[in-house]
Structure 1
Amino acid sequence: MALHVPPAPAPALRCVLTALGSPTAIHEAHTPALKSAQGPLAPELPLPLHVLDRVAQGEELPSRLAGWRFLIRSGERMVAAADTRLTPDGWAFSHFFEGPYVTSTEQALRQADAQAAPHQVRLLSVPELYMLTLWLHGDCAADPAEGTPAPSDLLIPLAPAPTGIAAGRPYQVADLLPVLTLRLGHAPLLRTTA
């Protein structure tokens, strides 16, 4: 397996397990697939969720850890996802959700696992474009809560992707940034040397 899925903080996992064990949390969720799931529900594939607060010109992309996302398995398939967030009091459950990002995350993980080089897997959100990507970070030993996308890291846009950006296609960060800056109407994000 070429993918390194970093372990989530234990308190974040406990939050999700507590929510999954709460009939109230599941009943109040807007996730019909989660409510109708037969059998046990299990959180799997914890992914650190980083957010680009803004896309601007510079040497690197300014990102911050926004939380951890867990895919929720019921039997043989993923039916939903659960997000956690860091609060001043520690990790807290945020919400359950379902929809195309759950399916496209699972597909992108399978696709990324076929990559020859090892990668640490993360998620990277670009709110300005309503875009979510699977981020394949080249340093498997890195702290999953830290760092910014390196020019050689891979980003796989998840479906639905913005118009003009192919979902499911791996892009090197250095190749995708000009597309993002063009879409956002900004100057180039990375300076390259010849």
Structure 2
Amino acid sequence: MPLHVPPAPAPALRSVLTALGSPTAVREAGSPALRSAQEPAIPELPLPVHVLDRITPEGISATRLAGWRFLIRCGDHAVAAAETILTPDGWTFSHFFEGPYVASTERALRQAEALSQPYQPRLLSIPSLYMLTLWLHGALSDDGATGHPAATDLLVPLAPAPPGIAAYLPHQVADLLPLLTHRVTPIRLMGSRA
């Protein structure tokens, strides 16, 4: 089934296109692959980046929108990503980057295309675990910038995943969040006071 990629805010896309058209922004990018690209750089697959700051014992927590991420394609694969953030003046380009999450996002998106149910793709960052997941949201008409993971949504850990969590293996939110709750809950030592 095709993924239903939510539309990014137009100013976010414009800011990325402006940065790609700026020799200074590309030259100063922390992305050697983007700087040395011989083919045109095209932003695609805008994904809202949500952050899960806290996981409750019930496994449910609100998320906050941190920005929009665009994969930057040169030729047949993504070589970098562009991050945009919301400022008091609106959406603006933040930075280019490369690294393992660019390729793992691209791989997880290809894998999600093969699922039998359509989803709205998003990214969900869990900073306390140094973990990034592809969040496959089941409500296709929802605004990509809002909401929280539903129990039946899928989370696909991206590589590198934390120890003991398999990258690219889809988990329902109802199954994965309680497991993650135990990882972020501090363990009290015997005799320690809370």
Report the TM-score range of the alignment, normalised by the length of the smaller protein: over 0.9
Q: Structure 1: 5+ residue runs without aligned partners?
A: 188-194
**Could you tell me whether the CA contact under 8 Å between 1:2 and 1:118 is conserved in 2?**
yes
Once the two structures are TM-superposed, the CA of residue 61 in structure 1 deviates from its matched residue by 1.8
- Aligned pairs for 1:98-113 (under 5 A) are 98-113=98-113
| Structure of higher CA gyration radius | 2
TM (norm. structure 1) is 0.93
Residue 104 of structure 1: SS of its match in structure 2?
helix
Q: Which runs of 5+ in 2 are unaligned?
A: 188-194
Preserved CA contact (<8 Å) 1:131 1:162: yes
Q: Shift in Å at residue 30 of structure 1?
A: 1.2
Say yes or no: does 1:129 pair with 2:129: yes
Residue pairs, 1:41-52, within 5 angstroms: 41-52=41-52
Confirm or deny: 8 A CA contact 1:57 1:186 kept in the other structure.
no
Partner of 2:155: 155
3-state SS of the aligned residue for 2:183? helix
SS for the counterpart of 2:163 is coil
SS of equivalent to 1:80: strand
Task: Say whether the 8 Å CA contact 1:105–1:158 is kept in structure 2.
Answer: yes
Residue-by-residue CA offset, 1:78-110 (whole Å, 9 max, x unaligned) = 100000000111001011000100000000001
Question: What is the deviation of 1:182?
Answer: 1.4
Aligned to 1:164: 164
Name the amino acid aligned to 2:84.
T
Q: Distance in 2 between matches of 1:15 and 1:102?
A: 20
Q: Scaled by the length of structure 2, what TM-score is found?
A: 0.93
- Tell me the amino acid that sits aligned with residue 132 of structure 1: L
- Do 2:59 and 2:178's aligned partners in 1 also have CA atoms closer than 8 Å? no
Separation of aligned partners in 1, 2:64 and 2:23: 32
Change (3 A) 1:168 1:59: closer
Equivalences for 1:7-156 in 2 at 5 Å? 7-58=7-58, 60-156=60-156
> Which stretch of structure 1 is more off in the superposition, 7-16 or 51-60?
51-60
Contact 1:41–1:74 (Cα < 8 Å) also in 2: yes
CA distance in 1, matches of 2:57, 2:179: 13
Sequence identity, in percent?
70
Deviation at 1:70, TM superposition (A): 0.1
Matched length: 187
State how far apart, in whole Å, the 1-side matches of 2:60 and 2:54 are. Answer: 11
Distance in 2 (CA, whole Å) between partners of 1:170 and 1:91 is 31
Deviation at 1:47, TM superposition (A): 0.3
